[in-house]
Amino acid sequence: MNRFIASALTAGFLCAGSLTATAIETSSAPVPPGPPPAAAGFRQGYMNDGMRPGCFPMQQALGLSDKQASRLDEMRQSHFREVQPLRQDLFRLRGELAAESVQKRPDEKRIDDLAGQIGQQHVKLAMLESRHLKQLSLVLDRKQVNTLLKMKEGRGFSKGRRW
């Protein structure tokens, strides 16, 4: 009986998926442009939007000088290199937590341990972000800092965004 239900559900999902794909293919709505290819680099995807060469959206939004933009770019890259291993570890821990949670007999002690490790990773990432913002504030003037903070408010989890 369970195999029959699983087979029926699988067939239903496959049919629904193919109908959705067909409906999308036949719609006349224009397809929005995708992100630039990874090989294009961070700035190259933005260079044909009426900005001067070497300019990226944050530089225009904050009114950065070329020297400030260069310094912020170095700081951003350094920050990324520092947080990337922590984010990868956090992703791994979340995967382990999910895998343990769906076990027939999940180990509650292991789940608690993984949840604690995930919390510790979030604390580390928050501290690194705070330090990074402090470093940015040494390069930017007060108006630029306020604009940057407003830009950050528009990202992440908010109404109408991912859960």
Task: Please report where in the chains the tokens 């170095």 appear, as a residue.
Answer: 74
Distance CA 38, CA 133 (A): 26
pLDDT confidence bin for 13, thresholds 50/70/90: low
Q: Which two tokens stand for residue 103?
A: 């076990």
Which of these ranges, 54-63, 81-90, 96-105, 121-130, has the smallest mean pLDDT?
Answer: 54-63
Task: Please report where in the chains the tokens 């009986």 appear, as a residue.
Answer: 1
pLDDT at residue 85, as a whole number: 95
The CA-CA-CA angle for residues 40, 41, 46, to 5°, reads 85
Task: Please report where in the chains the tokens 């291993």 appear, as a residue.
Answer: 85
Domains of the chain and any CATH numbers: 65-153 (1.20.120.1490)
> Mind listing the pLDDT tens digit for each residue in 76-114?
999 999 999 999 999 999 999 999 999 999 999 999 999
Instruction: Indicate the angle between helix axes 66-101 and 108-139, nearest 10 degrees.
Output: 170
Distance CA 56, CA 75 (A): 15
Distance CA 15, CA 150 (A): 44
- For residues 58 and 83, the answer to whether their CB atoms sit within 8 Å is no
Average pLDDT, the chain: 75
Residue 78, Cα to own-chain centre: how many angstroms?
A: 17
Closest by Cα among 29, 65, 43 to 139: 65
pLDDT at residue 111, as a whole number: 93
Q: Which two tokens stand for residue 107?
A: 């180990």
